[in-house]
Amino acid sequence: MAPALSKSPGSGPLPRRLLAQYLVLLRLYPVLTKAASSAVLSALGSFLSQILEKVHKKKALDLWGPTRFAIFGFFFTGPLSHYFYLYLDRFVPSDVPFSIIKRLLLDRLVVAPAFLLLFFFVMNLLEGKDSDAFAKKLTSSYWTSLKMNWKLWTPVQFINLTYIPMQFQVLFGNLVALFWFAYLASVKK
């Protein structure tokens, strides 16, 4: 008897099974799924930063750092990104002239600065620091981080908004954010 040519979505290699499960969860619980994937990838970015730093400074790993990033990813990055892409598509439909440029400008000049400010504020709270520490961090790191954000995320967002289906835009952003959060974790130090 010949083996079946088509397999069910839940069978086959691990990556295929994970993608099938992700798609089911995405359909059933879109915000929660994006929040959870944001939490995991944000924590991994912070952990990656520590691993890279450990190579140079022989420091012990701090589990509270990735936990803070996971909290930020779960409560802010995932849900806010979900609704941002959803409303961006409604606010600037793809059939309007120069829609990709309008979307990019809105994302890069309005959302990115505000989101980065939110990141610094929430991290400051999670670290238990006061408003003076927050002001100092903004003065020393915000502008540098925003310029790096524009350099890294502008081409990423162009690809994301142009070629990635809406249901995967948060995941695509989270995969890139793995390295972005590694950068931000190193800037925070």
pLDDT digits (tens, 9 = 90+) for 71-104: 999 999 999 999 999 999 999 998 999 999 999 9
Average pLDDT over residues 158-182: 91
The per-residue DSSP string of the chain comes to: -PPPSS--TTSSSHHHHHHHHHHHHHHH-HHHHHHHHHHHHHHHHHHHHHHHHHHHH-PPP-THHHHHHHHHIIIIIHHHHHHHHHHHHHHS-TTSTTHHHHHHHHIIIIIHHHHHHHHHHHHHHHTT--HHHHHHHIIIIIHHHHHHHHHHHHHHHHHHHHHS-HHHHHHHHHHHHHHHHHHHHHHH-
> What's the pLDDT score for residue 53?
77
pLDDT at 49: 83
Q: Is the pTM of this model over 0.75?
A: yes
